[in-house]
Structure 1
């Protein structure tokens, strides 16, 4: 079986399989859909999973449905559901992500959180928080770990941490076992779409200072 890993060796194929099964939360579904538009290899993998799922369904013995004709007639009698046109992609965001965010990459209302770091919180969906993060060229996020899972999709530029380099279209997965300090590319900086189901916890010298100040 083919396995997909991020630059840190953490498996991504489970995430792709959950996407194919339709079991992801809305923000994670959008993140993977955007990833698939940028990564043909992952897209081929998900298409193969869909074929396997169809073969499995075809091999399943049919089950009789009570009042079949009446139920089919009721379905076809319903008016067609209007489908909104797909949002066009732009230089920053693939179509699925642009539709989710509801605006183009040029219209993001960024807010500065730390020097060289800007953020746009899209929203919280049940337990998942979705946001965009922009880091200036050569800038770095404070060293941190996670209380839960964080999934990051690189949209522009690239970043690196101790595990490796992540470029446009790459997914980075992190949890409580990962303590990292992502550093943006010195030439382009980096913009990412991030979905997390728990807060991050600062570590390193900066984290110790913040913790000390919080106790004063």
Structure 2
């Protein structure tokens, strides 16, 4: 896997670990010698210049992963017809659902590096502090951790309004994507719905994720 999310198809986006590089990824030196294999079965080289070792996975999305085939399956799912939930995909692959989540975050971080043309649309979504544990810390150490500024959404009674009104808890997102992609904002709302409100700190990654999906959709599967 070359670490990029490029090309016209999810399969190409997933790819495979590339062939042995011709130069050192650390110093670009070309005086290389074989240096055994890694614990994951990949050939290892040593640079005669900086004397550091590396493998084909060094500096890629697959670096440090033991289950590369499962990781590639996660990428294909992310950029396929419809992404699965972490738990459903984890059951299918035989891994823990948090493993799938960490792999997705790794891919989203790479998506954020890709420049995307801006469509010029703004969409509002509800602020989310999922998995923040703010209330847990406040209950355990009330003298150190102050109460969060709003209650948890599921504790609000029907018709109850949070402090400051709903408008105070909206997050504005600028959607980027391929130029001329109509209805991108509506597709983002549909895309976000199955994830049941991702944490606000991850929303930029979800926007970039949709942008890459749009590139793949417009360029076809060839």
Q: Same fold (TM over 0.5)?
A: no
TM-score by length of 2: 0.22
Structure 1-normalised TM-score?
0.22
Identify, as 1 or 2, the structure richer in helix: 2
